[in-house]
Amino acid sequence: MFGFLRRPKVRIDIPRLKPRVDTSTYPKVNLAELTPEVLPYLGQAAYVQLAVFEEVSDAIAAAPTVAAKQVLAPAASQALDKHERLVAEIRRRVDTPAEVMAPFTVGIDRYRALVKGSDWYEQLASVYLTAGILDDFFSLLAAGLPGDIGPRCIAILDAETGRRAIVDVLSEAITADPVLGSRLAMWGRRVVGDTLLVARSAIHLTGNPESDEQRIEPVFTEMIAAHTRRMDKLGLTA
Amino acid sequence: MFGFLRRPKVRIDIPRLKPRVDTSTYPKVNLAELTPEVLPYLGQAAYVQLAVFEEVSDAIAAAPTVAAKQVLAPAASQALDKHERLVAEIRRRVDTPAEVMAPFTVGIDRYRALVKGSDWYEQLASVYLTAGILDDFFSLLAAGLPGDIGPRCIAILDAETGRRAIVDVLSEAITADPVLGSRLAMWGRRVVGDTLLVARSAIHLTGNPESDEQRIEPVFTEMIAAHTRRMDKLGLTA
């Protein structure tokens, strides 16, 4: 069940240099051959968005002020909207979206527990960083879907995240408390590894490890660069 | 702070007869003179919707199956949408929605704790029953707002609730387990009292108890009748 947590071959080196490239340089075609079938893709992507929604909702419930609750609301709303739109895509194909998502719930729930964090700030940092990676990843993976479903999924996943407020809340707290900043920098390095393992578990490997790795590596390098930019936005060194 | 919890004069008799009237017979004008100022109205209504959202989100997180999570998502989404639209109305007037909501957070949070329930089914029953009463109430109260804000608030509050799925989940569980049904029937009688006290706390009393009561009583009677219809839908005797 947790097979993806036991694949030590994935080397995840987080670059300490500033990224040199823009997200638009993502080698979008490279993952196409590794994209899973449409339904498993949709089921996992939909459940990931539901998990993001639940995590933001939990952060809203735990928020110390009503102002914080209120600025986080759009992040919950947008994740839920993405979930519902992906479920609608499932329903265009089958009537049982819950069954399509079911194979992924245990793995994702376990991952959520790993990256939840020990307080509200770690939780917010996790949501911002991990949802960023996963949106990017499922959007890249969608390029390999057949027909017009790929572009539709990309449009869903690239939509407004509502997570800008998380950056504001965290930057302010980090500026006020350097110790928090150094704790969150470590935390950010930790969650990226767990998240890339989830991403990797969603890839349909061809069975040729060498060519698979050649396809995966540049994409993951760019995903890590995008992660580094998100860390920068928070004022944290990746 | 909790003044509204200490007003024993409010008699809340829950009628055991089937309702004889439709929601459309609500005496909409009666509360008009008791409507608070626009900003306190919006602040309280917006925070109530945020509380409904948080409670549904919590129920989604606690749901036993991914199918249950998924059918509850629209209820969270709709409550959040109502919250955001009410906050947008606040922002048309002032830049500080959190401050406008702040006076109501402690009372509503305390109320939420009272009606939360001891398990998932009680929590779902609470959301369905209490959010139904509060949507009705704030919609009725909106009739007394000046200018075009009243109709706009009514349009927001009367929009789709997404809570139909709660009825399905609960009816099925009640049919399968008569003991649960009798527990939830008692629970439904309990939460209506707490909710009507919250409603009452939102009313701007004129200072003439006799005329105030004359206005409030028929409205509350109709709200209780609507509650009874919601209990019916769940298969419960109010």
Tell me how far apart the alpha carbons of residues B94 and B90 are, in angstroms, rounded to a whole number.
6
Whether chain B has a CB inside 8 Å of the CB on A94: the answer is no
Burial class (CB in 10 A: 0-12, 13-18, 19+), B140: buried
Does the pLDDT of residue A21 top 80, yes or no?
no
Pick the CATH number of B30-234 from 1.20.1260.10, 3.10.20.30, 3.30.2040.10, 1.10.10.60: 1.20.1260.10
* Nearest to A76, CA basis, from B76, B47, B39, B125: B76
Q: Smallest CA–CA separation between B72 and chain A, in Å? A: 11
The predicted model gives B195-212 an average pLDDT of 86
Q: Give which of B186, B160, B161, B169 is closest to B238, Cα–Cα.
A: B186
pLDDT in tens, B15-65: 444 443 444 555 554 677 788 899 999 999 999 999 999 999 999 999 999
User: B80: nearest CA in chain A?
Assistant: A77
User: Which pair of tokens denotes residue A173?
Assistant: 């707290």
Which of A27-36, B1-10, B201-210 has the lowest average pLDDT? B1-10
pLDDT over threshold 80, residue B10: no
Check whether B228 has a pLDDT greater than 90. yes
| B67 Cα to chain A: minimum distance (Å) | 5
Residues 6+ apart with CB under 8 A from B117: B123, B125, B126, B187
Cross-chain CB nearest to B98 (options A65, A80, A97): A65
CB spacing of A77 vs B81 below 8 angstroms = yes
* Tens-digit pLDDT profile for residues B108-156: 999 999 999 999 999 999 999 999 999 999 999 998 899 999 999 999 9
Comparing alpha-carbon positions, the chain B residue that sits nearest to A105 is B66
Residue A31 has a pLDDT of 74
ipTM over 0.85: no
Question: Nearest C-alpha of chain B: how many angstroms from A26?
Answer: 32
**Least confident segment among A130-144, B2-16, B95-109, B128-142:** B2-16
Domain boundaries, chain B: 30-234
Q: CA–CA separation, A230 vs A161, rounded Å? A: 13
Q: Is the pLDDT of residue B97 over 60?
A: yes
Of A177-181, B61-65, B213-217, least confident by mean pLDDT is B213-217
Q: How confident is the model at residue A8 (pLDDT cuts 50, 70, 90)?
A: very low
Distance (Å, whole) CA B46 – CA B35? 15
> Residue A20 — pLDDT band, cuts 50, 70, 90?
very low
Residues of B in contact with A81 (CB under 8 A): 77
The predicted structure's pLDDT at residue B206:
80
- Between CA B159 and CA B82 the distance in angstroms is 8
The per-residue pLDDT for B125 is 97
pLDDT greater than 50 at residue A193: yes
Q: How confident is the model at residue B205 (pLDDT cuts 50, 70, 90)?
A: confident
Mean pLDDT of A11-18: 43
CATH level 3 topology of A28-234: Ferritin (1.20.1260)
Kindly identify which residue of chain B lies nearest to residue A87, measuring between CA atoms.
B70
Give the pLDDT score at A232. 94
